[in-house]
A and B are shown apart, each in its own frame.
Chain A
């Protein structure tokens, strides 16, 4: 459209307006360059009916419902407005008699075979055909013949059902499957009047994203087993919230009827999920209404639990904490978990644990995450940064499809449709590998070796962690060029639970050092792990990305106490507990027995802890061991905010009430503080947020008003850019605004040395100033572990469906766990004399399991790959969390 030499009589005026002037229904509007008519009209409040068009997918013009009279200068003609870009001077009539007659005709045609069983259809009340028939359909159909009949409904997967006679062949579901999910397992089958959507026989639509097709099907042809016949749209009430199942943080609507959550629907926000949800996030609402939810507090009696009143249970819990303080001080207390909390509850628990109890043995992670300093301190990129067209991503992390499904959709879109470049550094191939320009496959535990060779070449006389040198050369040129051009984003996360997170951290450190200007997207996996880290639920940290060393004085102005020294992480807490050094262990929605990579250590830790207090929604294996079980309110039952892996803060909303007498986590923290003779000084989640904003450096300016404002509908990424921060820090004001601790913790053993600051911290502006935020500095890199020629080095990765509490409590998902096989390179198969499909005993220094062994040529020689956390094989028995890598041996023959 660059008609440079077009008009010699140069009128200077039209060049000034950016965009495309068009007339729709007599209104002059300015469309964006390349904008479709249907979008431009909608943006200006004119809705053109449609079935097949979906703004997140390629327009196909299948249904013709959107036809309007369009005049491009050659006279008006009927055109599908979802296929036509606006051009200057275009005139569109969306309601003229010709348009209306045409649309009525299309509708009549589309409905020839549509059963119009709206009264029993799950979509009735929100289906465009019904709405459009009511709005602009012909009063009656001229079609008198028998409609098509098909056997109904047929299950096309474990979750999705298809009523073929309702399908209007809009190609939305099939397009989604191919274009968005990359799982073209449903397709149009047959031709003409017989066309239907279907799967290949016995090859179900087993996609992690199948639920999206139910949401976008414009009719009731695709329904989910979880919702079908449960309710009608007009029974439902909805609030917007953010999925907390994983750290992507997809925006969603929680829809309920009569105080029961009936479904989640994706909500389209541009920076994150584009309206999509994964099936795990979409369907685990079932867990909320599960009959197995904890409803009342429990207290251990002998080997079983008995129901207790809250007063009694809280009293027991407080007494347990007090007993630990009395017995040996705050370091006799450990707190594990918190990644499922709201930001506010995480702050409340950080304040209780660190500010009241004074322990720093607090960790929201379970031994398989990047160090907090890396997550919080690396220069930050967003998902959009990583997916920006023209960019290159260097990816060192878990398979995103398994760990962070909708992040996978975003990356896949960027790779397949926007042509970004990908260099992947990984011990096993992932769902991204097929789209990567170069895959650098390295031995487990040698990602840093591979990355250093990528940056600086292969050191003389060594290899690059098993990476093919040619691939390394190809990757080096790409990465260096992208870094030079400023288009490189590094996505980094832990690759395997069978090795120390230190390896990938070393790799990130090497990259941060080589490319100081490059930004990182650090991957955390668990729902609000990022928020919990931001709120200081990790050893050595305080809320707002500040360290204990930097922030102690600042927090002492408001908190009764602050831990004296950095404490233990989860592995450390469990080790200490196993050695009898932890008197009271608090589990905040954590199940170390299932979720911690090292089963043996978790078992010994839980056995060794004198008392366990668990806050949870189900009696999972770890909670079963607790002395006091406090039932908590779950997602959808509490208000607050959550933080996704980008550091994006968005609001959560309550839709239903918790079961029984379950309470929110922060209320329990406040109540425990009170019983310990202190006071958190908060009466609501708003109080907690206000205090967190006043105290936490990274939250400066992210007030409730900001989060509630329309500008923040996509969430707010912390910290605000410097220029956007409303007022330059005035610590005195902040300190004065913040609630001030009134009560001393009575038994705090080491408070005596710190008593100076807090007494008069409320009035004088001479107090300490806002502490700096943590910067990532590399630890001394470890040396790669020596190879053992007789062993296989293990890569243990997660699948989307595993023993996770919510998945197992959701009947639709629980059965989808794929199970465990050990995958080994055919070369090693021959070497070890193993037979395909044989079940053999596999041993590590830590323990042994029986597992089926299969060949997989994509697994590197000398390594073995396995999925962990599946119901059939306890892979976590093989892993020693204190070891840098896990080497296993397969027992063939009768050897001991």
Chain B
């Protein structure tokens, strides 16, 4: 698993076609790669670089900027426990300590069975429901230690499969844009030519500034 599979490659091409420049598809393609492999592999970054016409270093530069892209394998379930100020006041740190004990790994670690990765995060914007956490970016709020244990049990038993897909899958519904509504640029070789609409609304005359 590494480069895009044939189906994912087709999706990748469709995604690229949505943008006026192939490079703009970089982030959606990184998500697609993460969906495929659970994290972003080096080979996937090389493949993306080929598809959008940049160097692998440029893909890595973008990819490594964002916390949500993982460059190393993580568990099927990525559990982010918030310890920022509201959550901290409402027991977020204690929750993290409990989670750490329950899963047997320190924050940042992955359980030996590869199921859970525990992370400490900054504010995830659910302060009114503190303390809170996310599992694969799905919110669980007002979490007590018991809630947490139940959550882990349910995830492990597969009871939440309908709600929480494995790490990397952002959404199970993929939006398709009909071909006639895409920006329509696929081959990298032609990307140097700016699409006509980019200059459609330009002020007439040279050097004019409003």
Residue-wise, chain A 201-215 has the 8 Å CB interface mask toward B (1 for contact) of 111000000000000
Q: Which of B55, B60, B192 contacts A189 (CB 8 A)?
A: B60
CB pair B60–A200 under 8 Å, yes or no, is yes
Number of A interface residues in the complex (CB < 8 A): 16
Q: A766 within 8 Å of B by Cβ?
A: no
B58 proximity list for chain A (CB < 8 A): 184, 187
Within A150-208, the residues touching B (CB, 8 Å) are: 183-191, 198-203
CB pair A189–B61 under 8 Å, yes or no, is yes
- Please measure, in the bound complex, the distance between the C-alpha atom of A190 and the C-alpha atom of B54, giving whole angstroms: 18
Q: Which of B59, B61, B67 contacts A188 (CB 8 A)?
A: B61
CB pair B64–A199 under 8 Å, yes or no, is no
A203 proximity list for chain B (CB < 8 A): 55-57
Q: B96 within 8 Å of A by Cβ?
A: no
Interface centre among A187, A198, A434 (most CB of B within 10 A): A187
CB pair A187–B57 under 8 Å, yes or no, is yes
B192 proximity list for chain A (CB < 8 A): 434
- Please measure, in the bound complex, the distance between the C-alpha atom of A201 and the C-alpha atom of B63, giving whole angstroms: 14
CB pair B57–A186 under 8 Å, yes or no, is yes
Q: B42 within 8 Å of A by Cβ?
A: yes
Interface centre among B46, B54, B58, B192 (most CB of A within 10 A): B58
B64 proximity list for chain A (CB < 8 A): 189-191
CB A770 to nearest CB in B, in angstroms, measures: 49
- Please measure, in the bound complex, the distance between the C-alpha atom of A434 and the C-alpha atom of B188, giving whole angstroms: 11
Instruction: For A183, give the chain B residue with the smallest CB separation.
Output: B55
CB pair A184–B54 under 8 Å, yes or no, is yes
Q: Which of B56, B65, B66 contacts A200 (CB 8 A)?
A: B56
Q: B82 within 8 Å of A by Cβ?
A: no
Residue-wise, chain B 4-23 has the 8 Å CB interface mask toward A (1 for contact) of 00000000000000000000
Instruction: For B189, give the chain A residue with the smallest CB separation.
Output: A434
B56 proximity list for chain A (CB < 8 A): 200, 203
CB A85 to nearest CB in B, in angstroms, measures: 14
CB A208 to nearest CB in B, in angstroms, measures: 15
CB B23 to nearest CB in A, in angstroms, measures: 12
Within B22-76, the residues touching A (CB, 8 Å) are: 42, 45-46, 54-61, 64-67
B66 proximity list for chain A (CB < 8 A): 191
CB B185 to nearest CB in A, in angstroms, measures: 16
B54 proximity list for chain A (CB < 8 A): 184
CB pair A187–B60 under 8 Å, yes or no, is yes
CB pair A187–B42 under 8 Å, yes or no, is no
CB B65 to nearest CB in A, in angstroms, measures: 5
CB A361 to nearest CB in B, in angstroms, measures: 49
Instruction: For B55, give the chain A residue with the smallest CB separation.
Output: A184
- Please measure, in the bound complex, the distance between the C-alpha atom of A467 and the C-alpha atom of B35, giving whole angstroms: 45
CB A489 to nearest CB in B, in angstroms, measures: 22
- Please measure, in the bound complex, the distance between the C-alpha atom of A791 and the C-alpha atom of B116, giving whole angstroms: 63
CB B56 to nearest CB in A, in angstroms, measures: 4
- Please measure, in the bound complex, the distance between the C-alpha atom of A202 and the C-alpha atom of B42, giving whole angstroms: 10
- Please measure, in the bound complex, the distance between the C-alpha atom of A187 and the C-alpha atom of B26, giving whole angstroms: 15
Interface size class of B (residues with CB under 8 A): 10 to 19
B65 proximity list for chain A (CB < 8 A): 190-191
- Please measure, in the bound complex, the distance between the C-alpha atom of A188 and the C-alpha atom of B57, giving whole angstroms: 9
CB B41 to nearest CB in A, in angstroms, measures: 11
- Please measure, in the bound complex, the distance between the C-alpha atom of A200 and the C-alpha atom of B44, giving whole angstroms: 12
- Please measure, in the bound complex, the distance between the C-alpha atom of A716 and the C-alpha atom of B54, giving whole angstroms: 41
- Please measure, in the bound complex, the distance between the C-alpha atom of A183 and the C-alpha atom of B54, giving whole angstroms: 10
CB B127 to nearest CB in A, in angstroms, measures: 22
- Please measure, in the bound complex, the distance between the C-alpha atom of A185 and the C-alpha atom of B60, giving whole angstroms: 10
B59 proximity list for chain A (CB < 8 A): 200
A200 proximity list for chain B (CB < 8 A): 42, 45-46, 55-57, 59-60
CB A806 to nearest CB in B, in angstroms, measures: 30
- Please measure, in the bound complex, the distance between the C-alpha atom of A200 and the C-alpha atom of B21, giving whole angstroms: 23
Within B163-210, the residues touching A (CB, 8 Å) are: 192
- Please measure, in the bound complex, the distance between the C-alpha atom of A189 and the C-alpha atom of B66, giving whole angstroms: 10
A201 proximity list for chain B (CB < 8 A): 42
A184 proximity list for chain B (CB < 8 A): 54-55, 57-58
B46 proximity list for chain A (CB < 8 A): 200
Q: Which of A190, A191, A199 contacts B57 (CB 8 A)?
A: A199
B55 proximity list for chain A (CB < 8 A): 183-185, 187, 200, 203
Instruction: For B188, give the chain A residue with the smallest CB separation.
Output: A434
CB A209 to nearest CB in B, in angstroms, measures: 15
Instruction: For A200, give the chain B residue with the smallest CB separation.
Output: B56
A187 proximity list for chain B (CB < 8 A): 55, 57-58, 60-61
Within A195-240, the residues touching B (CB, 8 Å) are: 198-203
A183 proximity list for chain B (CB < 8 A): 55
- Please measure, in the bound complex, the distance between the C-alpha atom of A611 and the C-alpha atom of B67, giving whole angstroms: 72
B67 proximity list for chain A (CB < 8 A): 191
CB B108 to nearest CB in A, in angstroms, measures: 14
- Please measure, in the bound complex, the distance between the C-alpha atom of A572 and the C-alpha atom of B10, giving whole angstroms: 60
Instruction: For B49, give the chain A residue with the smallest CB separation.
Output: A200
- Please measure, in the bound complex, the distance between the C-alpha atom of A183 and the C-alpha atom of B66, giving whole angstroms: 24
CB A204 to nearest CB in B, in angstroms, measures: 10
Instruction: For B67, give the chain A residue with the smallest CB separation.
Output: A191
B42 proximity list for chain A (CB < 8 A): 200-202
CB B57 to nearest CB in A, in angstroms, measures: 4
- Please measure, in the bound complex, the distance between the C-alpha atom of A115 and the C-alpha atom of B56, giving whole angstroms: 30
- Please measure, in the bound complex, the distance between the C-alpha atom of A186 and the C-alpha atom of B58, giving whole angstroms: 8
Within B136-170, the residues touching A (CB, 8 Å) are: none
B45 proximity list for chain A (CB < 8 A): 200
Instruction: For A435, give the chain B residue with the smallest CB separation.
Output: B192
Interface centre among B46, B54, B55, B67 (most CB of A within 10 A): B55
CB A665 to nearest CB in B, in angstroms, measures: 44
Instruction: For A192, give the chain B residue with the smallest CB separation.
Output: B65
- Please measure, in the bound complex, the distance between the C-alpha atom of A201 and the C-alpha atom of B44, giving whole angstroms: 13
- Please measure, in the bound complex, the distance between the C-alpha atom of A57 and the C-alpha atom of B119, giving whole angstroms: 41
A188 proximity list for chain B (CB < 8 A): 61
- Please measure, in the bound complex, the distance between the C-alpha atom of A203 and the C-alpha atom of B192, giving whole angstroms: 25
CB B69 to nearest CB in A, in angstroms, measures: 11
Interface centre among B42, B45, B56, B67 (most CB of A within 10 A): B56
- Please measure, in the bound complex, the distance between the C-alpha atom of A26 and the C-alpha atom of B46, giving whole angstroms: 55
B61 proximity list for chain A (CB < 8 A): 187-189
A198 proximity list for chain B (CB < 8 A): 57, 60
A186 proximity list for chain B (CB < 8 A): 57
- Please measure, in the bound complex, the distance between the C-alpha atom of A201 and the C-alpha atom of B40, giving whole angstroms: 13
CB B46 to nearest CB in A, in angstroms, measures: 8
- Please measure, in the bound complex, the distance between the C-alpha atom of A202 and the C-alpha atom of B57, giving whole angstroms: 10
- Please measure, in the bound complex, the distance between the C-alpha atom of A188 and the C-alpha atom of B64, giving whole angstroms: 9
- Please measure, in the bound complex, the distance between the C-alpha atom of A200 and the C-alpha atom of B42, giving whole angstroms: 8
- Please measure, in the bound complex, the distance between the C-alpha atom of A81 and the C-alpha atom of B64, giving whole angstroms: 31
Instruction: For B45, give the chain A residue with the smallest CB separation.
Output: A200
- Please measure, in the bound complex, the distance between the C-alpha atom of A33 and the C-alpha atom of B167, giving whole angstroms: 55
CB A824 to nearest CB in B, in angstroms, measures: 21
CB B109 to nearest CB in A, in angstroms, measures: 19
Instruction: For A188, give the chain B residue with the smallest CB separation.
Output: B61
Instruction: For A196, give the chain B residue with the smallest CB separation.
Output: B64
Instruction: For B60, give the chain A residue with the smallest CB separation.
Output: A200
- Please measure, in the bound complex, the distance between the C-alpha atom of A651 and the C-alpha atom of B8, giving whole angstroms: 60
Instruction: For A202, give the chain B residue with the smallest CB separation.
Output: B42
CB B42 to nearest CB in A, in angstroms, measures: 6
Instruction: For B54, give the chain A residue with the smallest CB separation.
Output: A184
CB A201 to nearest CB in B, in angstroms, measures: 6
Interface centre among B42, B46, B57, B61 (most CB of A within 10 A): B57
- Please measure, in the bound complex, the distance between the C-alpha atom of A250 and the C-alpha atom of B45, giving whole angstroms: 37
- Please measure, in the bound complex, the distance between the C-alpha atom of A191 and the C-alpha atom of B57, giving whole angstroms: 15
A to B CB contacts below 8 Å, 14 in the list? A184-B54, A185-B55, A185-B57, A186-B57, A187-B58, A191-B64, A191-B67, A198-B57, A199-B57, A200-B42, A200-B59, A200-B60, A203-B56, A434-B192
Instruction: Mark A residues whose CB is within 8 Å of B.
Output: 183-191, 198-203, 434
7 tightest Cβ-Cβ pairs between the two chains A and B: A187-B61, A200-B56, A187-B57, A200-B57, A190-B64, A189-B64, A191-B65
**Beyond the given A184-B55, A190-B65, A203-B56, could you list 15 further A-B residue pairs with CB under 8 A, ordered by the A residue number?**
A183-B55, A184-B54, A184-B57, A186-B57, A187-B55, A187-B61, A189-B61, A190-B64, A198-B60, A200-B45, A200-B46, A200-B55, A200-B60, A201-B42, A434-B192
